[in-house]
A and B are shown apart, each in its own frame.
Chain A
């Protein structure tokens, strides 16, 4: 930390001591602004601009030492075909691992299951016989279906829809579909056919033309909307949103869950396995497994802190209203309320438009109004 940043923090603390009043602006924001001006802040990382609202007078925190925060997650829409995770994490990533790294991973995942911290694995490989954890097989060829607990299909158009119909007849477990940037157009169809959820890789989708210049939070928000659209007018039976890609630490996981992610596709453990293999002269499976294990246990306790401070007893109850952002861009992309006004940017645009319509006495229907709001939001973005 630089000297001028230390001075800002000191000044801020002195202010609190002198006035006894809460800060009007977070100290982080002041530092962030300075960093932005100096060009040292990485531009466009909207995760940094999203903060948890914290405990309030009317919403006392659950004591995390007394009340356990539930992290258990079920994947699957039908009662008899659900996969249960003790942590909302599926280890998933695009790393090519050596056999010894894979063995270390299996060792770690089995140990985690023994310690009531079951997480799942998404892999192209066939499930290992000694596994205690749920294995989701990435299935490119329907004839290579082994004996997984769940299946992941990559969306490649109508063929995927046909595959789901076919697999659903012989496989009872959950089917997830890894979607491309056009998920909004076909998610409802996939769920209709019996898929149990979608997997969005924010890194891959953010590279597409459609999401050019947009952040992972926009992709998560839109993916949740696509699932919600399927449930319009009916009761939600639990279709799952798995978010992978740019969600690689506990802070981002909590924020992603608030935006609608049910499960995180997490590649950090794979990274540890890979790095363990390359950075040490002597690769020890047990030491690497222990590192992965420790990392997941620490992540587990990190995940419970914010939900507890927000008065929740279940991790999955986080919603966008639990967060605030100082960035208009983040508010627009993730529909997150802005700090200070407690309204989303969309709400503000709606209010201004309503006022204009009233003052000018304009006759306009709901559809036209929504079209104008979308145009304004699109342009601003």
Chain B
């Protein structure tokens, strides 16, 4: 604060201001110090707020790419030799440098980044026939069907070399010998699907509107000499109306999914290769089905129809039990024209669908979302999703290739997949699942944060259920009834408990408490009842004692007399627990829990965490609550006591309500601590991300999840960013809790502001 010396001098002339000269230097120094101290304080506060905001910015910066919409741009369009053959006649290498198309008589490689083109490679052994159908059996492996009923295998590879630090790609192709599927070699192959299974390749070809033939090759390894190949050819019975308009084999060769011109989807069970039969059929659409495609992993079928509808189907157990049936999972955004091609991503459940009018949709199978809509040239005949899911190559009827770059690093993440139930492959209904790795690439990682939020709240709930009553009652006792000389020891000791590293608590909980609790669960549940009964009995006996004996104990130190009572109560409770288990629970409480209540028992469960985390939270709640109780003005207590209230009535009716703002803060700060607690939940819960209220099962908390998974998450990947989202949630949760706590505290404080 600056002193206006001029104003001081300007007083009445007959009463001059006290001369300031003597103290001026000291005053100046004081003002300077004052100013700098104030600035330092402001600086400190600003720095703290800034660093918290900086943390928030970093977290949000890592999370934001998850929810950035997909983007794509057309990089180039180039004309290739001729119109593509029907079917899966287009492909691209994983660096999107060279695409290839299969035309009616040749294989054509086309560079995508530079101009020019490779010479066309004629398909050998055609003998004047045309290629009328192309099927892709695996990546780069195509089956070419000819107009005279034969099939040629084609294997396309790209050899990658690095010369002078530059990548050089060389396309390579390998043609197999033609095999006749129509023995008379009269009927053209209209559509073709093939797969290589563990027992040998299977090829299914459509040779007429309603005629399917299946060739199975069984390779038998002989002890000496080359393996014997036994090929068998059989016609598949068609038991539906209309014509066959699309079909596809799954990667295991177990199922043939077939679409008809009447909009029916038929599944053939091929597990018994000698007797293939239609297993189930579903009406999908009124229009003809133009497309059947499997997503990565061969569990989900994408079906497109002549009206532009796209849906996904999975083989799920029937609701009433019985044989599994194809079940509709998602309906995608409609195309404006018949769907002509679909290409799955090789790394996730995304896929591209193309329609005849040039519409391209980028869909995601699990979420059912259409992420991107693109307009390509009209008359599309084929589309392929680049192996790294970062590009699309399409080909139209005029043989024009279009190359799209797609930027969509996290197609599987939307707000809905993170928080809402998701219908994953192989699940009977939508569920909340956290499973950060699928084991194989065929199964996707499942990132639902809901079970983790649930776990965090569950752990917090059980911890507070244990800690709040104990801590508050202890605070009330210590502040209102305990002898000050005892309190002088008790309070610091409890506060030291707060300094106990939580890793030690977690370690003890997981390795010592959990097995211990497992042995005495029935006793543990009897403990509160038995202890209460014991203590009340002890108090009653105490009251019956003659006054002279009672006076030996100093007021406020009676609590020590209760120590043996509490120990005896615990002993009694655990003894009774054993008896109860033997007499009422059939000698095995775990069996009883499962049969009577349907609860499973995990050794590391919420009960153990509740107790361990309760121990971490008790000192905080106790200390803050005790402080606020002790800060209740003494004259309020005196006022109440002077009216003839007992100390208990005073504590309950005057002290407790007056201290309620502080007690509320105590609970909220304890809540915040329990929410953010990591090591205890990490070590004592088993970390199973399940969602149930069962106190005997474990859970996985957000904080523990971040700790467990972050070291193994590739930087920038979906898991990495989802973990940052979990951190963001934790941040928001504690921020919200603390804000609410502060607001309520201020409100309550205003109410008591005149004290």
Q: Are A and B physically bound partners? A: no
Could you tell me which B residues sit within 8 Å of A by CB distance? none
Residues of A within 8 A of B (CB): none
